């Protein structure tokens, strides 16, 4: 006669066995995904390296200055444009709000008149 | 806990009689005792097994249902492996100077090629530098592996793949790539076929580069490097010279911001470079630097109180000493004060000043300034050995006083001159960027006072003396010209000159030193036939300073403002006149 405890243990064994294989397959899948992602990361990094090298190649100062000469109407800033120094410039007279308030005040008085 | 009934061992016993668990079959004596013992043992074993199963079960449930994995596990994969076997090299702003790329190389298995003629025609269309006949010959050979093209660009790989030809395969190889080409060729260096450093930083820091994965930041600034190279190249071409060098140094740290040696080469194809191009003139070449050396003579004289700013020397007649004659190129034929000797670059005055310093003190100071042996700690190993006279006689003391008889490299000259102007502290030159907050090595050589007086003298040269063409208005340039006759065999070759200018700015609180030398320049109409440092190198220094100042954040100042005038004022017994043209 199969007793209740035997059934219980048997089912427990089956359950645990099933769960174990389930976990194992899960792990295998995860590892495959990990390998795939790692490969993708490695490919991505290699691509970044290549693009970075190309970006720096295209940004050679000689090439940039040639392009700037051809396409821009700008020239490097000269000393004359930096003199007198920024400190020599007068500060702005008043902040915009204060200025607006200041200009509004006389208008009001003229309206009253 | 469910337990198998230990008393139910006999299945054949009559069912109607069930002895109560509390009153087992009456046994006695040793039999009962041994039965009890086995009961207890069985119970303990069963309990242990039960416990183990429960633990395993619980752990299984935990792993399967509740645990979401340790994220650190994922990082153990390929992703964290260093990508390449050699670290990148970047400049001080992170601009890539050298990197390692996996580059595809194309090979063929001729046995798998179906239509060799068609394949060759299509390949040549995509890779124009191949010859169709050669490719055809390779594709019809009876080998099973043959290289068609090594180290291609990704675009070429894509194009070849798009042809979809059978029998063609790629294999990745590591290749060192220098995106900036020859811009810092000698400093960065290059690698051999096995990716081991052959020259420059690649060689000097080979072990460092191979053991790290983070990029190595050099002290170079590629923008300044470009400016310096352009200006030196311009002068070399203009004056039909055989070569030129340039160094920009941060005088406060000893960091080299730019270092140029022309002619240079493309490190992507070092095999094609001539030996002259591979030779690093700035560090490996040693030259007698000429009048630039008067900086050290004056500084040592002021430091040792052999002379003061107000003392003077008789420069009326050339010095004759044991078969040698020392005369002035810009002869004033009168008594000259120390500032005048410096301004007019008087050899006679400098020689007499050197005599006052004395041989021992001169040698001691030059040694401490690092001018008598190569800078061992420097990152580039292509270093020239200075040529010092042995024995060091009195005549040597005199000639070294104005820059003849001691050969040093431009790098040593710049390092030592930086110590004169920066407040008197010698910082070893370096090509590696100082990390923020790093202690900067330094050894005090001169007093603060000597340094301040030297700044005034250097400014005087640019304002009144031989270096007028170096004056970049607003940036307070100070400097010293040098025109040395190159040693040819045992005598000096009058027409092969080394013309240099050493400039510092802003001279009231120096930040940067710019040293430019042009090797064997020939005077042109623009320079009225002159090929001296004041005509050849000084204008290039002026251009470099004007172009670099805004990049390094130095504001121009009003040079005529009273504070600046006062800070650079030189009180000299005979005021320096303005009537002598710069040369």
- Chain B nearest-CA residue for A63: B180
User: How high is the pLDDT of residue B11?
Assistant: 61
Express as a percent the part of chain A with pLDDT over 70. Answer: 74
pLDDT confidence tier of residue B579, bands split at 50, 70 and 90:
very low
Average pLDDT, chain A: 80
User: How high is the pLDDT of residue B474?
Assistant: 86
B386-420 pLDDT, tens digit per residue, is: 888 888 888 889 889 988 889 999 999 999 999 99
Give yes or no for residue B294 having a pLDDT over 80: yes
Q: How many CA atoms lie within 13 A of B114 on its CB side?
A: 3
User: How high is the pLDDT of residue B512?
Assistant: 95
Four-residue CA torsion sign, B460, B461, B466, B471: negative
Residue B392's alpha-carbon distances to B6, B304, B362, B367, B396, in angstroms, are 110, 20, 10, 13, 6
Residue A84 token pair: 């007198």
pLDDT confidence tier of residue B19, bands split at 50, 70 and 90:
low
Asked, for residue A60, whether it belongs to a domain, the answer is: yes
Q: What would the mean pLDDT of B33-39 be, rounded to a whole number?
A: 90
Average pLDDT, chain B: 85
Contact B79 A82 (CB under 8 A): no
Q: Which of A16, A50, A53 sits opposite B57 (nearest CB)?
A: A16
pLDDT confidence tier of residue B69, bands split at 50, 70 and 90:
low
Q: Which of A49, A61, A83 sits opposite B556 (nearest CB)?
A: A83
Residue B225: strand, helix, or coil = helix
Containing B176, the helix (H) or strand (E) segment is strand B168-177
User: How high is the pLDDT of residue B1?
Assistant: 46
pLDDT confidence tier of residue B50, bands split at 50, 70 and 90:
very high
C-alpha closest to that of B258 among B129, B412, B92, B140: B92
Contact A42 B64 (CB under 8 A): no
Give yes or no for residue B77 having a pLDDT over 60: no
- Cα separation, B445 vs B369, in Å, equals 7
Q: Is any Cβ of chain A less than 8 angstroms from the Cβ of B96?
A: yes
Domain that holds residue A31: 23-70
Q: Is any Cβ of chain A less than 8 angstroms from the Cβ of B69?
A: yes
Contact A5 B56 (CB under 8 A): no
Q: What would the mean pLDDT of B170-189 be, rounded to a whole number?
A: 88
Give yes or no for residue B329 having a pLDDT over 50: yes
Residue B233 token pair: 């190249």
Min mean pLDDT across B6-10, B177-181, B254-258, B438-442 is at B6-10
pLDDT confidence tier of residue B105, bands split at 50, 70 and 90:
confident
Selected residue with higher pLDDT from B311 and B571: B311
Strands B216-217 and B89-90 come out as parallel
Asked, for residue A13, whether it belongs to a domain, the answer is: no
Asked, for residue A101, whether it belongs to a domain, the answer is: no
User: How high is the pLDDT of residue B572?
Assistant: 55
Residue B141: strand, helix, or coil = coil
Residues of B in contact with A8 (CB under 8 A): 2
| Shortest CA gap B391–chain A (Å) | 49
Domain count, chain A: 1
- Cα separation, B545 vs B410, in Å, equals 18
Q: What would the mean pLDDT of B72-96 be, rounded to a whole number?
A: 73
Give yes or no for residue B581 having a pLDDT over 50: no
Q: Is any Cβ of chain B less than 8 angstroms from the Cβ of A6?
A: no
Q: Is any Cβ of chain B less than 8 angstroms from the Cβ of A20?
A: yes
Which one from B261, B291, B499, B500 is the annotated catalytic residue? Answer: B291
B230-253 pLDDT, tens digit per residue, is: 999 999 999 999 999 999 999 999
pLDDT confidence tier of residue B583, bands split at 50, 70 and 90:
very low
Residues of B in contact with A83 (CB under 8 A): 474, 556, 558
pLDDT confidence tier of residue A87, bands split at 50, 70 and 90:
low
pLDDT confidence tier of residue B81, bands split at 50, 70 and 90:
low
Residues of A in contact with B555 (CB under 8 A): 82, 85-86
Q: Is any Cβ of chain B less than 8 angstroms from the Cβ of A91?
A: no
- Chain A nearest-CA residue for B545: A79
Give yes or no for residue B316 having a pLDDT over 50: yes
User: How high is the pLDDT of residue B76?
Assistant: 60
Q: Is any Cβ of chain A less than 8 angstroms from the Cβ of B177?
A: yes
* DSSP 8-state assignment for residue B218: B
B342-369 b/e (C-beta count within 10 Å ≥ 16 → b): bbbbbbbbbbbbbbbbebebbbebbebb
Residue A14 token pair: 């089956």
Give yes or no for residue B554 having a pLDDT over 90: no
Q: Is any Cβ of chain B less than 8 angstroms from the Cβ of A40?
A: no
A40-66 pLDDT, tens digit per residue, is: 988 898 888 888 888 999 999 999 999
Residue A36 token pair: 């795939």
Residues of A in contact with B177 (CB under 8 A): 53
Contact A52 B96 (CB under 8 A): yes
User: How high is the pLDDT of residue A28?
Assistant: 94
Q: What would the mean pLDDT of B492-502 be, rounded to a whole number?
A: 82
Q: Is any Cβ of chain B less than 8 angstroms from the Cβ of A36?
A: no
Q: Is any Cβ of chain B less than 8 angstroms from the Cβ of A23?
A: yes
Give yes or no for residue B324 having a pLDDT over 90: no
CATH number attached to the domain at B225-567? 3.40.710.10
Asked, for residue A76, whether it belongs to a domain, the answer is: no
Confirm whether B38 is a catalytic residue.
no
Residue boundaries of the structural domains of chain B: 225-567
Q: What would the mean pLDDT of B293-318 be, rounded to a whole number?
A: 89
Q: Which of B83, B179, B550 sits opposite A53 (nearest CB)?
A: B179
Residues of B in contact with A6 (CB under 8 A): none
Q: Which of A5, A45, A53 sits opposite B177 (nearest CB)?
A: A53
Residue B368: strand, helix, or coil = helix
pLDDT confidence tier of residue B478, bands split at 50, 70 and 90:
very high
Enter the ipTM. Answer: 0.70
Residues of A in contact with B56 (CB under 8 A): 16
Min mean pLDDT across B322-336, B484-498, B534-548 is at B484-498
Give yes or no for residue A101 having a pLDDT over 60: no
Q: Specify the length of chain A in residues.
A: 113
Asked, for residue A6, whether it belongs to a domain, the answer is: no
Asked, for residue A16, whether it belongs to a domain, the answer is: no
Give yes or no for residue B86 having a pLDDT over 80: yes
Q: Specify the length of chain B in residues.
A: 583
User: How high is the pLDDT of residue B9?
Assistant: 59
Mutate to test the interface with A, among B180, B188, B230 (most CBs of A within 10 A): B180
Q: What would the mean pLDDT of B316-326 be, rounded to a whole number?
A: 81
CB pairs < 8 Å spanning A and B: 96
User: How high is the pLDDT of residue B488?
Assistant: 66
Give yes or no for residue A74 having a pLDDT over 60: yes
B359-386 pLDDT, tens digit per residue, is: 999 999 999 999 998 998 899 888 988 8
pLDDT confidence tier of residue B220, bands split at 50, 70 and 90:
very high
A40, A42, A46, A47: CA torsion to nearest 10:
20
């Amino acid at each position: 006669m199969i007793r209740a405890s035997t059934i219980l243990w048997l089912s427990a064994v089956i359950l645990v066995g099933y769960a174990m294989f389930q976990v194992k397959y899960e792990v295998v899948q995860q590892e495959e995904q990990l390998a795939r992602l790692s490969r993708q990361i490695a490919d991505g990094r290699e691509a970044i390296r290549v693009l970075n090298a190309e970006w720096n190649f295209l940004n050679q100062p000689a090439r940039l200055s040639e392009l700037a000469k051809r396409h821009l109407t700008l020239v490097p800033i000269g000393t004359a444009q930096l003199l007198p120094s920024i400190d020599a410039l007068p500060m702005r007279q008043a902040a915009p709000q204060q200025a607006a308030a200041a200009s509004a005040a006389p208008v009001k008085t003229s309206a009253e008149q | 806990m469910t337990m198998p009934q230990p008393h139910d061992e006999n299945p054949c016993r009559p069912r109607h009689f069930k002895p109560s668990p509390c009153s087992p079959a009456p046994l006695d004596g040793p039999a009962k005792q041994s039965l009890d013992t086995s009961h207890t043992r069985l119970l303990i074993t069963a309990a242990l097994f039960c416990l183990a199963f429960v633990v395993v079960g619980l752990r299984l449930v935990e792993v399967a249902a509740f645990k979401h994995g340790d994220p650190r596990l994922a990082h153990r994969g390929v992703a964290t492996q260093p990508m390449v076997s050699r670290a990148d090299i970047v400049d001080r702003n992170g601009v890539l100077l050298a990197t390692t790329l996996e580059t595809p190389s194309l090979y063929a298995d001729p046995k798998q090629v179906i239509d060799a003629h068609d394949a060759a025609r299509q390949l040549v269309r995509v890779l124009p530098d191949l010859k169709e006949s050669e490719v055809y010959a390779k594709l019809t050979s009876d080998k099973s592996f043959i290289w068609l093209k090594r180290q291609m660009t990704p675009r070429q790989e894509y194009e070849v793949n798009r042809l979809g030809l059978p029998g063609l395969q790629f294999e990745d190889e590591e290749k060192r790539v220098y995106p900036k080409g020859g811009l810092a060729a000698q400093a960065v260096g290059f690698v051999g076929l096995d990716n081991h450093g052959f020259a420059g930083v690649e060689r000097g820091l080979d072990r460092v580069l191979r053991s790290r994965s983070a990029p190595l930041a050099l002290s170079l600034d590629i923008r300044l490097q470009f400016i310096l190279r352009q200006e030196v190249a311009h002068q070399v071409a203009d004056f039909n010279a055989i070569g030129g060098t340039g160094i920009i140094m941060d005088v406060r740290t000893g960091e080299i911001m730019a270092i140029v040696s022309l002619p240079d080469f493309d490190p992507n194809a070092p095999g094609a470079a001539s030996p002259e191009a591979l030779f690093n003139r700035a560090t490996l070449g040693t030259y007698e630097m000429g009048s630039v050396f008067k900086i050290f003579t004056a500084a040592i004289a002021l430091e040792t109180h052999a002379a003061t700013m107000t003392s003077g020397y008789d420069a009326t007649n050339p010095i004759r000493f044991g078969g040698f004659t020392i005369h002035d190129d810009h002869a004033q034929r009168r008594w000259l004060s120390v500032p005048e000797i410096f301004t007019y670059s008087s050899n006679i005055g400098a020689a007499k000043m050197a005599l006052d310093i004395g041989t021992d003190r001169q040698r001691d100071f030059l040694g401490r300034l690092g001018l008598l042996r190569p800078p061992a700690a420097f990152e580039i190993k292509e270093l020239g050995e200075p040529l010092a006279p042995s024995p060091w006689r009195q005549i040597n003391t005199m000639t070294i006083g104005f820059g003849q008889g001691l050969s040093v490299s431009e790098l040593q000259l710049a390092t030592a001159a930086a110590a004169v102007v920066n407040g008197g502290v010698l910082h070893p030159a370096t090509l590696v960027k100082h990390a923020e907050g790093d202690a900067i090595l330094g050894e005090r050589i001169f007093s603060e006072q000597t340094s301040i007086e030297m700044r005034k003298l250097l400014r005087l040269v640019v304002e009144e003396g031989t270096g007028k063409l170096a004056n970049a208005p607003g940036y307070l340039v100070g400097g010293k010209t040098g025109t040395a006759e190159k040693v040819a065999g045992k005598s000096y070759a009058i027409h092969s000159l080394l013309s240099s200018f050493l400039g510092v700015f802003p001279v009231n609180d120096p930040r940067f030193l710019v040293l430019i030398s042009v090797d064997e320049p020939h005077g042109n109409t623009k320079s009225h036939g002159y090929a001296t440092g004041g005509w050849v190198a000084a204008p290039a220094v002026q251009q470099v300073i004007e172009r670099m100042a805004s990049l390094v954040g130095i504001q121009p100042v009003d040079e005529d403002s009273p504070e600046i005038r006062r800070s650079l004022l030189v009180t000299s017994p005979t005021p320096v006149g303005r009537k002598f043209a710069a040369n």
